[in-house]
Structures are given as structure tokens and as C-alpha cells.
Chain A
Amino acid sequence: MSAGQPPLDSPEIRRLSPVIGPGYTYGSVTEKISSIVLTRPTSLGWFIGFAIAFSFMGLMTIAIGWLIIKGVGIWGINIPIGWGFAIVNFVWWIGIGHAGTLISAILFLLNQKWRTSINRFAEAMTLFAVACAGIFPLIHTGRPWMAFYMMPYPSTMGLWPQFRSPLIWDVFAVSTYGTVSLLFWFVGLIPDLATLRDRSIQKPAKIIYGMLALGWRGSARHWHRYQSAYLLLAGLATPLVLSVHTVVSFDFAIAIVPGWHTTIFPPYFVAGAIYSGFAMVLTIAIPLRKAYGLEDFITMRHLDNMAKVMLATGLIVAYGYFFEFFMSLYSGNKFDVFLVQQRLHGPYAPYYYALILCNILTPQLLWSYKLRHNVAVLFLMSIVVNIGMWLERFVIVVISLTRDFVPSAWGRYSPTFWDWATFLGTMGMFVTLLFLFVRVLPAISIAEMRELVAETTEEKQ
């Protein structure tokens, strides 16, 4: 413990629940986490949950297949609303991913011990969310088999990407984000894969985990470099995660469309991303700890802290809404003023009010200690915030595009069955991947939990 913190037996600290339940040893944390993957029989609940998620993923495959056959006309998009669900969902999914990197990188740099038991599945969540996000712009191009045109490569046509376009920045930001998240996750997994290799009984499992572990043997010389690399990755992922949603917000802010062309977008998009991401981490963590009896590892302290982060980022988002509103009125720009009126009284006003209710009003309940410690309330709250953040992107994309400068360019947007099928389908894919992940990889970092055991035993002495 650093010198600046109060001693552990001070009454202030004692009131907090611990980051790990009492009485765990190196052996027992290893046993408890690895047994979920290696020895415990797969429950019926897992199969049922997986089957439901997988059928939704099947729906996605059908929706994308039909899209490729028929073209983007099967969606509700039109002129002037060329973006529609595809971009709303893209921004929503990318945002969700941000909490994973925040937990694994920023909280690591800040030396927050409570991150340890949630970072692994939060990072997995990031990867799967980025995978879901990546689908949308790809299929929104209409000819996804031509998507490689966005990559710079020496083509026979002598054509190069337009590097002044935010859409190309997006390609680089999202693909870098995906790659770095994967590296971070895999580097964290290497020691745990070695544990699984050493503990698995069946030959195939031993071989597969053995190959993935790259021959890790816990050598002190290896740990020495490993820690440097991990720290550097955390330091690199921190500015990266802030840049990704900034670049996503440039997709809007660089355009001159009313309601988009504003400098508050980058910070407010990043805060919103972290907000929705923490909501999703809670949505996953609460059933996960229940199903696998991990209450000793993902304690009330974790849930409480995540709720606090949600509350804080939610307030930043509320500040963003307020200033978006204020700046439009203060600017005196008639198109911006008109857009605000459209948000409050236009055809999509109910969505705007629902967004305020979900994102600003409901989360204020989290000020209450009692409610933050009520798991059911937290779970519901996380779903409400997820819906709210989706509505936010819907409001941004649809209201601005339907109320452009000239009344003759105004329009209406409503999603079709295929829009919903694709969206629900990506949720199915996300949940399918999560189910597979908890079944075949340790959902909590075993090596870091052992470190935590070592630190807590040291403190007791």
C-alpha cells in the first residue's frame, strides 16, 4: 500500500466490502476459477442460454445474407436518412467496448485493485462489442466485398484512400482499437493459459491450451519483460480508448449538419461510451457471478464502484446534453435553434424524452447507497442506461438528418424488420461469444487474483 493511504484498520476502510472474499490461497483461487473451464460439468442453463443466443446469431446471418442478395434497400434508410440503424448501432457497440479498455488500462495505471477480477471479461466484452460494431459500417457500404477499398494498398487503378475524410480515420481508429484490445487481452491471458495447460486432464485440451500458452513457464526473467510490456500496453491503450470515440464523434462533428457540428462532441461521446460500457459490464457481471458462484471475487465493492463510475460519467453526459442545448440557443443560428425545437416538439420528441429519462433522471437513483447495494436494481439500471445510450445515438443520427437546412430535404425514418433482425442478431452474436468465452477461457484473471491474494496476505501480516 502506498504511504498516502490511511492504515487498513481505520474505520473508514473497514466499511468497504473487500475486493476478494476471505480465506483464499494461491491454490484455491486457481482451483476455483480454472474449475469453471476444466472440471465443472456444463450446466443445462448454459446450453439453453447458448441456444437462444445462437439462434439470434442465426437471424443475423440470415439478415446479412438477404442484405447481400437484395442490397441496402431492405433497410429503412432513404434519402436524406442514409445512416439509420447501421450507424446508430455501430456507435452504440463501439461505445460499449470502451469500458473494457478503461477497466483494464486506466484503472491499471491508477493502481485500482478492484479492477482485477473484472478486467478479463470486460476486455472480452470489448473485443466482442468491437466485432459487432465492425459489422455495421461494413454492411452499410452496400457492397461489403469491396470494403478493402478503404485500406491503403497499391491498386492497379492507382487509387488511394482520402486521408482527409473522418470515415477513413474511423477505419484506422476502429481497426487499431480492435488489434490493441486483442493484444492486451491475449497478453493478459498467457499465464492463465499456462495454468489451464498444466491443470487440464484431457489430451486435446492440454495440447490446445499448451499451444496458446506459447510455452509460458513463469520464469522470473519472462515476468520481468512481461510486466514492462503490460504496463506499456496499458499506457498506450489509455490515449487510444479516448481517441476512438473522439474519431467516431468526428464522423458527425466534421459535417456541417445542424446538431452535429459542435466541438463538445468528442468529450461527450467518450463519456457516453464509458457510461454505456460500464452499464454493459454490470449487465454481464451480475448474472455471471450468480451463475458461477463468483460472489467472493466479484464482490459488492466492485458493483458499487461500477455504479459510481456510471453515475459520474452519466453526469458528464448530462452536462454534454445541457451544453449542446445551450450552445444551440446561444449561437442564435436559426438551424441549430430549430433543431432544438425539433428535439423537444418534433415527430421524434418521444425518443428525446425517453433518452432524458433513461440517461439522466433514472441514474440519479444511484446516489443512494442502499440502491447501489441492491443487485436487482443495479441490473435493471444497467439495462435502462444501455437503452438510453442507444436512444441517444438514434436521436443524434435521425433527428438531425430528418431536419436538414431546406424543408424540401426533410424526411422521416422508420426501421424495417431487417433493421431489427440485424440489430438483435448482433446482440445474439455478442452473447454467443460471451457464452463460449466463459466456457473455454478463465473469465477472471487467475494470475492477477494470485497477486491479489499475495498482497492481501502481506497486508494482514
Chain B
Amino acid sequence: MLHRSHIYGVMGEFSTPDELIHATEKVREAGYRRVNAYSPFPVEGLSEALGLKRNMVAPICLLGGLTGGLGGFFFQYWVAVIAYPQNIAGRPLNSWPAFIPVTFELTILGAALSAVFGMLALNKLPQPHHPVFNVPRFTHASSDRFFVCIEAKDPKFHLEECARLLQQLHAHHIVEVPDD
């Protein structure tokens, strides 16, 4: 048997989203926790099957939006009142309604940038290489095939047992994923 450190996990291939969800549920029911699924499009119900909870993208986005909005407003205040005050016929320097359009735009900008870069950072992307790319048939994960991978880091992981489980779930092309 191979040493655990040389393999990343065992992967099974499925041809429909329903099979994928079913397999993921069964693998999790068998007690495996370090499991991941791969699909060419977001499959409805897959996150629940994997037991994924709420993610942090929305809070990060909120934070970015607040930073953009508050930062934008007070920056304009600082410019108009402190750094470069212009007395135009004695009108108030803090003409806050005039600052709203830019405040709004900066809120959106901050929220959008943090949503996208937050999502990429949480996903640890960009990551040019990953062990799953070692599987030759994995190129189908971006077109028409669905994969379940039980990772070797799982405390219950045993190569043959995992392969047998995937076989019972009617996976085609069950392969071990080398870790390099």
C-alpha cells in the first residue's frame, strides 16, 4: 500500500449532477469529512450535501462597502472643510448633499472590489497548480463530468476502502490522486 503522504486522495467520476449529490451524501454518511466535489457548473444542493455553511463573502463585502462609503464621505468632508476650504458667498463648507453621489459610487466600488477579491482570497486563488490536476480525466471537470474526491488527510482515509465505497456508488474511473 502507498504511503499516505504520496497521495492526495481518491477520486471517482460521475456523469450527472444527481449522481454527484447522491455520491457526496453517501460518502459523508460513511463518516468521511475531508471530501470535496468538482463540477463544471454550480450544482444546486451540492453545498448542502457537502455540509457547507454560510460563507464569509457577504460580511467581507459589507465591510468593504462601509469602508468605501464612510471613507469616501469623510474624505470629501476633509477636502471641502479642512484641506481646501473655499468660501463661496458664505455658504456652509460642509455641503453634505453634494457629497452623496461620490459617497454612493465609492460604497459600490468598495463593496464590489472586496466581494471579488474576498471571494478569490477565501478560495485561495490564484493557485496555478493543485494535485487534482494530476488526474488526466480531470479536464472533463470543466466540461461534462462530475467528480468526488475523498482526501488522504481524512482521519478515516484508507485507499482501498475509499475506492470500494466509490465503486459501490457506481463511480466510473476511480483513480488515486497523486500528491506532488
A interface residue numbers (CB < 8 A to B):
25-27, 30-31, 152, 158-164, 166, 168-169, 172-173, 176, 179-180, 183-184, 186-187, 191, 194-195, 197-199, 210-211, 214-229, 232-233, 236-237, 239-240, 243, 247, 250, 447-448, 450-451, 454
Contact = CB atoms under 8 A, between A and B. Distances in A.
B57 A217 contact: no
B36 A229 contact: no
Interface residues on B, range: 35 or more
B1 interface: no
Q: Which of A30, A163, A215, A221 has the most CB of B within 10 A?
A: A163
Contacts of B55: 224-225, 228
Given A176-B109, A233-B115, A218 B120 contact: no
A55 to B, nearest CB: 36
Contacts of B84: 158-160
Nearest to B128: A215
B12 interface: no
B143 A214 contact: no
Interface of B: 17, 24, 36-43, 46-47, 50, 52, 55-58, 61, 65, 75-76, 79-80, 83-84, 86, 95, 98-99, 101-102, 104-106, 108-109, 111-113, 115-116, 118-120, 122-123, 125-130, 132-133, 138-144
Given A176-B105, A229-B119, A199 B143 contact: yes
A224 B53 CA distance: 9
B115 A220 contact: no
Given A215-B127, A243-B104, A448 B41 contact: yes
A236 B42 contact: no
B79 A160 contact: yes
Given A161-B79, A180-B108, A454-B43, 19 more contacts: A159-B84, A160-B83, A179-B112, A191-B41, A191-B142, A210-B128, A217-B141, A218-B39, A220-B36, A220-B39, A221-B36, A232-B112, A236-B115, A239-B104, A243-B104, A243-B108, A250-B101, A450-B40, A450-B144
A383 to B, nearest CB: 33
Contacts, number: 190
A438 to B, nearest CB: 20
A163 B141 CA distance: 50
A26 B20 CA distance: 15
A241 to B, nearest CB: 10
A239 B41 contact: no
B116 A229 contact: yes
A227 B57 CA distance: 10
Contacts of B105: 169, 172-173, 176, 240, 243, 247
Contacts of A184: 112
Q: Which 6 A-B pairs have the closest CB atoms?
A: A214-B126, A229-B119, A26-B144, A27-B144, A198-B139, A228-B57
A286 to B, nearest CB: 28
Main SS of the interface on chain B? helix
A221 B119 contact: no
B139 A199 contact: yes
Contact of A172 (B36, B58, B106, B116): B106
Given A160-B83, A215-B125, A226 B42 contact: yes
Contacts of B58: 228, 232
B93 to A, nearest CB: 10
A456 to B, nearest CB: 13
30 contacts: A25-B144, A31-B143, A152-B75, A158-B84, A161-B79, A169-B101, A172-B102, A179-B112, A183-B112, A195-B143, A198-B139, A211-B126, A214-B125, A215-B126, A215-B127, A217-B142, A218-B39, A219-B38, A219-B123, A220-B24, A220-B39, A221-B123, A222-B125, A223-B43, A225-B56, A229-B115, A237-B112, A239-B104, A243-B105, A247-B105
